[in-house]
Structure 1
């Protein structure tokens, strides 16, 4: 019996010294009742199935394109059983939702305008190498199945992740990097686009500096992802995108269904547009010189009602057309003014930023808080610190199993003066939170430097343009207020783009700090976050069928100037971390031998539970023997540390204990004293005054010398276990006797 005819094509991605990756597109074997279905492999060990289906009838009452994109992560793909109570997959993971957004954003503009039939694209992960990132493969899979479906779709669209990696032979943009390779990358960028003549037009960008970027740049001298380097990355992605598009086009030419004719519902007919334009264009130009958002919106709504009322007699039953035409005329008026007069809706120039306000410590009792305002956009940032055991546990196909920094973004309906549903986050809120999270992660202190789980919440209290970038700014302020030692402050700005025909030529105008209306009526939303030195996160969405990379490069440079201005405002509000809040837990670390972990825990947790009950501290133990102790006050933490040391490190010194130590080293700032084998402490030069009759000591060697024995008391033990000492002057005679006795014994 003959099986189905299987056809395929391949794209070979050549990364030079980093090897080749092969992306294989295949159709004809699975999901044959879907309008279009494609199996996509990468290196033969990761397999995705994408199926595209379309409703037979247009959706009534819809004035938008009902496209749905879903990702189904199957745990069997990684040889695992789901960790949920019912042991089956439930709601999609955050990673799956973000993958859906990655696919939706470049695909949506490629469908014919006016389509009202419901279209659904479902990508199922069937098999995966845990070291492979499947999300960018899914972009190509969804494009391929849609190409095969016969829908009116102007593809193919190719998507590639490129990472800037330096293995010692110079930095290189590597396509389809693996999780393990990203450990040595400073920047990670997903780029989607389509072939446009001899070039590739960019349709979507999602990028971030990696967790290790700061260390790689500052300690190992790797190339920082500046605006120029990021622009080079966009160019480097183009050949890979072209190879992926060519492979899709080759398979589509042989296996795609004929394009089906679907009913197209135009928003309005030409006569409706002409009538609305004649009746309202001049007045609209005046309305959109009003700077205040609510006043401007009210004036626009009143003019819309007036225009429709004046024309409804000639367009009976076509009120929806008139409403849509009014919106289109509004869009044209705004764009023409920007392109010809270089003046925006609220009277600003193309590069002007609205008034900025930054304030910290705005809420009582919380660990850190701040408000950041940019014009009518207002974001409240709140930081909460806790033990590392409170970090998020992740059960997904990714090898990442836990997350210490969690950024949640909330967008309540009142932020735009409207009513609506509140409750669980929508995809947009998850996406905005992830973007703000990626912007901040590169500058966070390491787990060792700051052993806390950090939850950051951004509340969009008022919205008129780029609440996600406002969240980045509010987060920087709030984290510093909470005492988090950021490596550098981060700020973000949203750029817009307007393009249109002026005097027969296509003109582009990049807008700094866009309003909500400029986002709605513009062609691009380009968000850029970073420090004063380099970019930490980028997100690009476009309504055009691609944007020239040169235009994006110019927008990046324009965004840097705005970012530096915003950073100056943030640092004027707070430029160094504050002290930890009195309400935040104090977390200290103790190192114990690995073979003592069982003794500290005790049978069935009896010992550790007893310590927690007696001291009021929370205790968590890592596999390497690091014990994290968290408490609301210092005495509780110290009591827990003493109890743990009594079990696992019985010879570890405690504050207040006295030792007859030996000077083993002198420095310009003090002397190191050996207390017990392997345990030294510092006797600071300021403490030596007690041995010099209270006189200032300029030279340590004038008071003590290597080999000298001295009675000392432990005065401080810092979070890393380092000891600070003080000489015991009152016991000098006793100390001398002990020295004599010890010398006689020798």
Structure 2
């Protein structure tokens, strides 16, 4: 954009042999009434507008910072019209919600503590290259607009996505690059200055995962696996990109930022309240904080808090009317004691060491009738995983800005209030539940079988039945167990663990203590929630949240190594419960696949779906066809699926029946000279009237309809295949019966008209039925031409003769196929006519 008041800054990201990416920030042209407004561009092709606005007055009654981040996806950005009924954007997509969380997590700890004015950050996607991933650009845009808004904000924050492609960490990869990526990681951080004046980048947020291609790239193409060391290298590689983005934002703020405004800060407590609580409660709190059980510990702490408030803030007490301060100070003293014990004594709340894991439990097949189920327990955290399998047509259809339009594996996470012993709202999932489900989904995606290996849509549900630390990583473990119980052939089992961190300044140096398998209280009182999931060989997913201004990458690398030891121990416990995929449940659908030529898809479907619907009705199977000719067949049992596959193969991959082969066929059409019998889908043969008579003991019949009806089953044998592929059939009689009549035929009349000359016999066809005689008068070339055209039409209709509106049996007219068959059987008819006249 152009204008006299526009301020511009840009960062050029150098990816070496992968080229450069340019991120540009502009302000001064749009949304001038917002507190801060920035347009962010990626390669001048993707454009986002970020605005940051603060409320004029503090929110009363709030004891937390009311920050809201919203991402508005506009479908016009990608040249699309929304697919909803009203054709306009509605509730945010999952991608938008996850992007909100990516922005909120590094932004929130960067605001000054005690701020109670509502702050809203809105990012609107205005233009999007479909190959670009806008989420990391949104992190930078949100930071830039907040940096210039005049709020007390200790930014800027830089966010970058790095992917390990061909051994190099590439910044801002496209969607098309992910197919070659072994590991994909979003990292956010800020530039910090050390005491000696040197600068470094402190990591504030990480969201990372192996890709769908990781297994193939590592196992089949020899690429490096994303081990803990490789991931740590990625964190280091991201620093230079983050520094460049922070520098560009700082340049923009130096010219365009508003002066920092004075906002009222609301401290949780005054120093005198903290001192009073510390003196009165420290000794008792040390004792209570050593109670291992969560419920017992919290009950005791709550009772002591009520007692303390009565002593310090009761009527006539020195802190009367300051109950909230006493409660906040009480919590602060708890936090101080927990952290002090960890750093000095290396002992945690429940008595464990820093690297100890709580008692583990794993059990599969815990629910009847469901396709797969399991329970995973880690201490008081209890997760139930339930797996459901279905046809691929049940996969989730996506209508978003992303080029991904469908999702085969769907992971849902539920966190009911009873899981923490509380009451609360139950209903649609909150952002936290969506985020936890997405994390568990990413952890398992790299080990799922391909669509070709396992042609099922998979829905995995994680039910948090009890919560005391890291239900998301418990969901990963429970899901692995449940999927194996459902018979899903995972490439490797996956387990997850949550790591914590406690830090303190001791003698001028910051010391860190990493905690394995954190409790809920350690999450609340600690500085970091670092979740790591993976197989025995490599990491599949990472999520980092921190309350600090940043964490050194070396500290995170150490936590990764500590997490690996815990993960291997958990995998051993899970392996004792189930070490290989079980047989699929009898209640799960059986899905098999068959490949048909693309030009045969129309025949399988038939006119208006007639053929595919017929197969589904006859077999009870559910059929879906992909554009590449892959046909997926699902049924409640194996025989039904195999029957449907046989019928589809008979249409699209036909094999010619052999002479002498017997069939239980279905009559699809009757004529004056015989009946057409369907042997296989698309394969009909003629049962001549002379063979039809055998079914009634050789008696003379006036009409084929007197013996056979359309839809009737009849046992036949393939007698002959003529050069043009036409099939002649013979009736198969039950054992002991003969085609000859059991009674002598009626005597011939004593007198009859003299036999006509051979040249006059053609008229007899018209007397007996002009249809037959007329057919024989057609030239062979004409009949053959019509037959070829008709066969072409029948292929387009599904290759099925008889039945439907086009059937000659229903319209009373004969098809060109019958003309050709009459010609093939002309000699039989002539002989039959002669015997009748005799």
Other-structure match for 2:553: 549
Cα distance in 2, alignment partners of residues 245 and 605 from structure 1: 59
Other-structure match for 1:42: 42
Query: Is 1:165 the equivalent of 2:169?
Result: no
Query: Is 1:330 the equivalent of 2:331?
Result: no
Deviation at 1:643, TM superposition (A): 2.0
Q: Secondary structure at the match of 1:389?
A: helix
Cα distance in 1, alignment partners of residues 310 and 510 from structure 2: 35
TM-score by length of 2: 0.77
Structure 1: which 5+ residue stretches go unaligned? 659-746
- Given that 1:214 and 1:443 are in contact with CA atoms closer than 8 Å, whether structure 2 keeps it comes out as yes
Other-structure match for 1:590: 594
Query: Is 1:606 the equivalent of 2:617?
Result: no
Cα distance in 1, alignment partners of residues 608 and 269 from structure 2: 72
Cα distance in 2, alignment partners of residues 195 and 558 from structure 1: 27
Structure 1 residues 484 and 119: CA distance shift in structure 2, 3 A: same
Cα distance in 2, alignment partners of residues 234 and 159 from structure 1: 12
Other-structure match for 1:437: 441
Other-structure match for 1:179: 175
- Given that 1:408 and 1:430 are in contact with CA atoms closer than 8 Å, whether structure 2 keeps it comes out as yes
Query: Is 1:352 the equivalent of 2:353?
Result: no
Cα distance in 2, alignment partners of residues 52 and 255 from structure 1: 14
Other-structure match for 1:99: 99
Cα distance in 2, alignment partners of residues 148 and 496 from structure 1: 33
Cα distance in 2, alignment partners of residues 653 and 478 from structure 1: 46
Structure 1 residues 43 and 271: CA distance shift in structure 2, 3 A: same
Cα distance in 2, alignment partners of residues 284 and 238 from structure 1: 42
Other-structure match for 1:248: 249
Q: How does 1:111-510 map to 2 (within 5 A)?
A: 111-166=111-166, 171-197=167-193, 198-312=199-313, 313-510=317-514
Cα distance in 1, alignment partners of residues 267 and 495 from structure 2: 41
Deviation at 1:471, TM superposition (A): 0.2
Cα distance in 1, alignment partners of residues 657 and 295 from structure 2: 66
Other-structure match for 1:109: 109
Cα distance in 2, alignment partners of residues 464 and 432 from structure 1: 15
Other-structure match for 1:573: 577
Deviation at 1:539, TM superposition (A): 0.1
Deviation at 1:506, TM superposition (A): 2.1
Cα distance in 2, alignment partners of residues 398 and 652 from structure 1: 47
Cα distance in 2, alignment partners of residues 504 and 97 from structure 1: 41
Q: Secondary structure at the match of 2:170?
A: strand
Other-structure match for 2:781: none
Q: How does 1:39-78 map to 2 (within 5 A)?
A: 39-78=39-78
Q: Secondary structure at the match of 1:61?
A: coil
Other-structure match for 1:677: none
- Given that 1:645 and 1:652 are in contact with CA atoms closer than 8 Å, whether structure 2 keeps it comes out as no
Cα distance in 2, alignment partners of residues 77 and 630 from structure 1: 39
Cα distance in 2, alignment partners of residues 87 and 329 from structure 1: 54
Cα distance in 2, alignment partners of residues 649 and 5 from structure 1: 70
Cα distance in 2, alignment partners of residues 218 and 645 from structure 1: 34
Cα distance in 1, alignment partners of residues 617 and 607 from structure 2: 16
How many residue pairs get aligned? The number is: 651
Cα distance in 2, alignment partners of residues 570 and 652 from structure 1: 52
Cα distance in 1, alignment partners of residues 590 and 509 from structure 2: 63
Other-structure match for 2:529: 525
Cα distance in 1, alignment partners of residues 564 and 465 from structure 2: 26
Q: Report Cα offsets for 1:352-387 as digits up to 9, x if no partner.
A: 000000000000000000000000000000000001
Residue 642 of structure 2 is aligned with which of 638, 644, 648? 638
Other-structure match for 2:633: 629
Q: Secondary structure at the match of 1:599?
A: helix
Cα distance in 2, alignment partners of residues 601 and 81 from structure 1: 30
Deviation at 1:4, TM superposition (A): 5.0
- Given that 1:367 and 1:482 are in contact with CA atoms closer than 8 Å, whether structure 2 keeps it comes out as yes
Q: Secondary structure at the match of 2:350?
A: coil
Deviation at 1:606, TM superposition (A): 2.1
Other-structure match for 1:674: none
Q: Report Cα offsets for 1:591-647 as digits up to 9, x if no partner.
A: 111111112112222221222122111100000111000000112112211222222
Q: Report Cα offsets for 1:383-440 as digits up to 9, x if no partner.
A: 0000111111111111111111100000000000000001110000000000000000
Q: Secondary structure at the match of 2:551?
A: coil
Cα distance in 1, alignment partners of residues 468 and 3 from structure 2: 57
Deviation at 1:502, TM superposition (A): 3.4
Deviation at 1:505, TM superposition (A): 3.4
Q: Secondary structure at the match of 2:11?
A: strand
Cα distance in 1, alignment partners of residues 205 and 657 from structure 2: 58
Q: Secondary structure at the match of 1:57?
A: strand
Deviates more, 1:14-23 or 1:317-326: 317-326
Other-structure match for 1:733: none
- Given that 1:234 and 1:549 are in contact with CA atoms closer than 8 Å, whether structure 2 keeps it comes out as yes
Deviation at 1:652, TM superposition (A): 8.2
- Given that 1:201 and 1:548 are in contact with CA atoms closer than 8 Å, whether structure 2 keeps it comes out as yes
- Given that 1:38 and 1:141 are in contact with CA atoms closer than 8 Å, whether structure 2 keeps it comes out as yes
Q: Report Cα offsets for 1:712-734 as digits up to 9, x if no partner.
A: xxxxxxxxxxxxxxxxxxxxxxx
Cα distance in 2, alignment partners of residues 258 and 345 from structure 1: 45
Cα distance in 2, alignment partners of residues 330 and 211 from structure 1: 44
Cα distance in 1, alignment partners of residues 39 and 602 from structure 2: 49
Q: Report Cα offsets for 1:545-579 as digits up to 9, x if no partner.
A: 00111110100000000000000001111010001
Q: Secondary structure at the match of 2:565?
A: helix
Cα distance in 1, alignment partners of residues 484 and 186 from structure 2: 30
User: Runs (4+) of structure 1 moved beyond 3 Å?
Assistant: 502-505
Structure 1 residues 653 and 468: CA distance shift in structure 2, 3 A: farther
Q: Report Cα offsets for 1:111-146 as digits up to 9, x if no partner.
A: 000000000000000000000000010000000000
Q: Report Cα offsets for 1:434-493 as digits up to 9, x if no partner.
A: 000000000001111100000000000000000000000001100000000000000000
Cα distance in 1, alignment partners of residues 523 and 607 from structure 2: 61
Deviation at 1:86, TM superposition (A): 0.6
Q: How does 1:535-546 map to 2 (within 5 A)?
A: 535-546=539-550
Cα distance in 2, alignment partners of residues 350 and 87 from structure 1: 54
Deviation at 1:653, TM superposition (A): 9.3
Deviation at 1:501, TM superposition (A): 2.7
Query: Is 1:82 the equivalent of 2:82?
Result: yes
Cα distance in 2, alignment partners of residues 229 and 592 from structure 1: 43
Structure 2: which 5+ residue stretches go unaligned? 194-198, 663-838
Deviation at 1:3, TM superposition (A): 4.7
Other-structure match for 1:683: none
Deviates more, 1:329-338 or 1:308-317: 308-317
Q: Secondary structure at the match of 1:180?
A: helix
